[in-house]
Amino acid sequence: MKMADNFTLLCFIMVTGLFLVFCPVSAAGAISTVSAGNTVFVGEQGLDIRAAMDGDSILGWWASGAAISSSSPDKTISVPNPGSFTIYPSDFQTYTGTWYRLKSPTTANGTAFNVVDPYLDLKIEDTTVSTDVTNKWVPTDDELRFRIDTNLVQMLQRNSVSTVPITIKVRSPDGTLLNALVSKSGQTTSLVDYPVTTSPQYTGSIWGTSNRAMYPPGTYSVWAECNVNSMKDNYNQAGKTVSTTVTVLNQDQNPLIGNKGYVTNPTTSTPVMTTRTPTPTVTTAVTTSPPPTTVLTPVATATAESPAATTLPATAVVPAAPTTHAPGFGAGLVVLSLCACLLFFLKKH
């Protein structure tokens, strides 16, 4: 009885394993199946375009504004195997837009599909303070999310396709590539084949930077990539199947403030301010002194007082006081002399 139970359990495990293995294959098969009028992307490989070709074996492309019914296509591509077709960059990169199936080398027989150049972009947002921190810094303890902008969501037009798998890559400061992130609440989110259903697509706050053991301070590099139907393998270009790499600096304080020393050593900032202030002040002092010619002012005053000083000796010579007394004294002497002469004359006679 025990052996029978073990056998039943073993069969259950095998069936479950087979189900899990083949489920992704079914999904991959669905995402590669293209109906008439669907969008396909440059670089996609192994597409089943049988429904889009409807029995025809040639594709034709006309330039914008061309008269399709009365002119030959500007480019044609033969389709020997519509069950596995590749949108090669060399064939389609410069010929995006509507491609038609042809019933003859020059006659359109309806729309096959639309070829589009893929676009993929990723940004980092700090949900703690609700701001974009792409190529900026975040204080440790904040929560982060990713924003994905892409036109790859047009794959959802295809039958049975509900999500577009896009992988987010995070490289830590020591070079380790992370394939999952843990939120502040402890929830783990896989970054591999993240299901994208709209654009922009937000991941939610899946990255809690407070866990220093997992996320030590430093610069993290982040990008997104899509390899659906081997499109990245065939068309590995930044901004197309791979987003441009962005960074985020995770640390305790604003690096700009830290570099100026305002936080770590406020005292140092004071001399820095003072050393900067004197420089202009000294220059202004030197520049301002010459114009007023303060040195010439005393000279002018000296010259102004100089004549006054010269007047004083003139007044000193004016001691015409003796000259003022001289006339009276001289007259007395004359009278006295006359009297003496008169007495002498009278005495003699």
Q: What is the DSSP string of 170-215?
A: EE-TTSPEESEEE-TTS-EEE-TTEEE-SSSEE--S-EETT-TTTS
Boundary residue ending a domain (191, 223, 254) = 254
Does the structure show a pLDDT above 60 at 8? no
> Is 84 among the domain residues?
yes
Q: How many domains does the chain have?
A: 2
Residue 261, domain member (yes or no): no
Q: Which domain holds residue 196?
A: 120-254
- The pLDDT of residue 3 is 45
Predicted local confidence at residue 30, as pLDDT: 77
Place of tokens 């003859």: 104
Mean pLDDT (whole number) for 118-139: 97
- What average pLDDT does the segment 187-201 reach? 98
* Start-end of H helices in 55-132: 89-92
Q: What percent of the chain has pLDDT over 70?
A: 64
Residue 230 lies in a domain: yes
Nearest residue to 122 via CA among 209, 191, 39, 181? 191
pLDDT at residue 278, as a whole number: 42
Sign of the alpha-carbon torsion through 201, 203, 209, 210: positive
Q: Are 148 and 224 in contact (CB under 8 A)?
A: yes
- Mapped onto helix, strand or coil, the DSSP state of residue 142 is coil
Same domain flag for 145 and 226? yes
**Averaged over 127-132, what is the pLDDT?**
96
163 and 110 part of one domain: no
Task: Report yes or no: 218 and 97 within 8 Å, Cβ to Cβ.
Answer: no
State whether residue 134 is helix, strand or coil: coil
More confident residue, 17 or 103: 103
pLDDT attached to residue 321: 41
Rounded to an integer, what is the distance from CA 124 to the centroid of its chain?
12
pLDDT above 60 for 59: yes
Cα end-to-end span (Å), the chain: 204
pLDDT > 60? residue 28: no
Q: Is residue 248 part of a domain?
A: yes
